[in-house]
Structure 1
Amino acid sequence: MLATLTLFLGLPLALATEPQSCSPLIPVTFDSSTIPQLLGQWFYIAGASRYPPHLAELRAVTFEAFSFSPGSREDELNITEIIRTNETCVVRNSSKVQVFQQNSTLVHVDNNDVTSMARLIQSDKDLLILNHINIDFPSLSLSARTPNVSKEHMEEFRAHLQCLGFTEEEVFYTSREHACPLPRGEENADPQLG
């Protein structure tokens, strides 16, 4: 009887702490019109992961901008990354993204090594919400066409994080004040960054 009473009294508290509504992370279905929409400049905004190597990288990166350009094949994108880790800005252009249309997966390859695998989650066309899937740990990142996102877009991302069990303390954000100079002519480039 006491166990039943404890169960009934504890149930409302357990239900109250559940996320209000968790919609599933629905991947974008890639087709010939989707991939060109990925081309151009993007700014990494925030990320959360429980995978130790990703977690170490999230802690170290204070700014990242990247751009996708067409690769040598239609299912491949070249990436140029500009990253500030600690106090140093580094430009890398040795990696590629392979697009697997059949399972809506993006595979980041750096020097012929797979560094991550993700699915692009359905959202606004100016956002890249990536659900990293080649690991047994939850991991989600947000990038956008501009270094700032709207309150609504940030709330959408935070809702996804909450549904994956992340707390605000587990989310790492980049900062515009740590921005690196972007190459001239890049879309959305701001010569004052740096």
Structure 2
Amino acid sequence: MALPWALAVLSLLPLLDAQSPACPNFSVPITNASLDQISGKWFYIGSAFRSPEYKKEASHVHAAFFYFTPNHTEDTILSREYTTVRGQCLYNSSSVKVHRENGTLSKSAKGREHFAHLLLPKDPKTFMFAAFPEDKQNMGLSFYANKPEVTPEQMEQFYDYLTCMGMDKSEVMYTDEKKNLCLPLEKQHDEERKKEDERSETGPALD
């Protein structure tokens, strides 16, 4: 009697795998290669948060993009963030701490430290942050890509991670690049940096 039961269970395994993808390891150590992979410009695509605080903040974001510049020796990341909130562009520059051993990044805001687990899917053009992955009441997952528009395959990776955490697509709040109001400010900052670079290359003026 045991054999037919065992065969029936084994025949269901592929279906179970398809419905519940294996969860990633949320504490993969961060290496220099990891930091290099998330260096550059990224767009915030969407997120699902159960923490009331994070959920409220995410609901106000219409569009966002940012630049990550890692510092390997100091284990920090310079983050330059452009966020469109309530019809206006907000710019912020901050330092993100890298906690290599437990695979998290953290940033001080509103008087406390906020932590996120760095998740690197197969596609190097995307990454995710997981918040409180073991806490069903407060967990969250945010998705980032190197372009404002993502492919169905990239989106599926995000949904797979959501499913394995026990969250649903209906919980996702998406951004809309058409509402991005920060492009003029980004252009202004780019021009200012170019002028500074030119000045530093020519050196101080001589009398």
Answer whether TM exceeds 0.5 for this pair: yes
- On the 8 A contact 2:64/2:81 being kept in 1, the answer is yes
Larger helix share, 1 or 2:
2
Residue deviations 1:138-192, cap 9 Å, x none? 1000011111111001011112212223233211000011112331349xxxxxx
Counterpart of 2:132 in structure 1 is 133
Is 2:67–2:79's contact at 8 Å kept on the other side of the alignment? yes
Question: What residue is the counterpart of 1:174 in the other structure?
Answer: 175
- Say if 2:68 and 2:79, in contact at 8 Å, map to a contact too: yes
Alignment size in residue pairs? 169
2:200 corresponds in structure 1 to: none
For 1:125 and 1:108, how far apart are their aligned partners in 2? 23
Q: 1: CA distance between counterparts of 2:63 and 2:104? A: 25
Residue 105 of structure 1 contacts residue 117 of structure 1 at CA under 8 Å; is this kept in 2?
yes
CA contact 1:41–1:68 (8 Å) conserved in 2: yes
Structure 2 residue identity aligned to 1:146: K
Structure 2 counterpart of 1:120, from 94, 118, 121: 118
- Are 2:116 and 2:130, in contact at CA under 8 Å, matched by a contact in 1? yes
**Could you tell me whether the CA contact under 8 Å between 1:45 and 1:174 is conserved in 2?**
yes
Where 2:101 maps in the other structure, the secondary structure is helix
CA radius of gyration, larger in:
2
How far apart, CA to CA, are the structure 1 residues paired with 2:163 and 2:34?
28
**Where does residue 96 of structure 2 map in the other structure?**
97
Q: Check whether the contact 1:67–1:79 (CA below 8 A) recurs between aligned residues.
A: yes
Indicate whether 1:64 and 2:64 are aligned. Answer: yes
Distance 1:88-1:41 versus aligned 2 partners, 3 A rule: same
Task: Show the counterpart of 1:156.
Answer: 157
Rounded to whole Å, the distance in 1 between the matches of 2:68 and 2:170 is 30
Q: Distance in 2 between matches of 1:34 and 1:17?
A: 31
Which of 75-84 and 124-133 deviates more? Answer: 124-133
TM-score, with structure 2 as normaliser: 0.72
Equivalence for 1:189: none
1:19 and 1:85 map into 2 onto residues whose CA distance is: 37
| Mapping 1:28-107, distance limit 5 Å | 28-71=28-71, 74-93=74-93, 95-107=94-106
Distance apart, 1:134 and its partner CA = 8.3
* Structure 2: segments with no counterpart, 5+ residues: 1-14, 192-207
Q: State the distance in 1 between where 2:99 and 2:148 align.
A: 28
TM-score (normalised: structure 1): 0.77
Who is 2:205 aligned against?
A: none
Counterpart amino acid of 1:83?
T
| Secondary structure of 1:33's aligned partner | helix
Secondary structure of the 1:57 match is helix
1:11 — aligned with what?
none
The one-letter code matched in structure 1 to 2:98 is V
Which amino acid in structure 1 is aligned with residue 22 of structure 2?
Answer: S
Contact 1:117 1:134 in 2 (8 A): no
Identity score, percent: 29
Tell me the CA shift for residue 78 of structure 1: 1.1
CA distance in 1: counterparts of 2:101 and 2:19, whole angstroms: 33
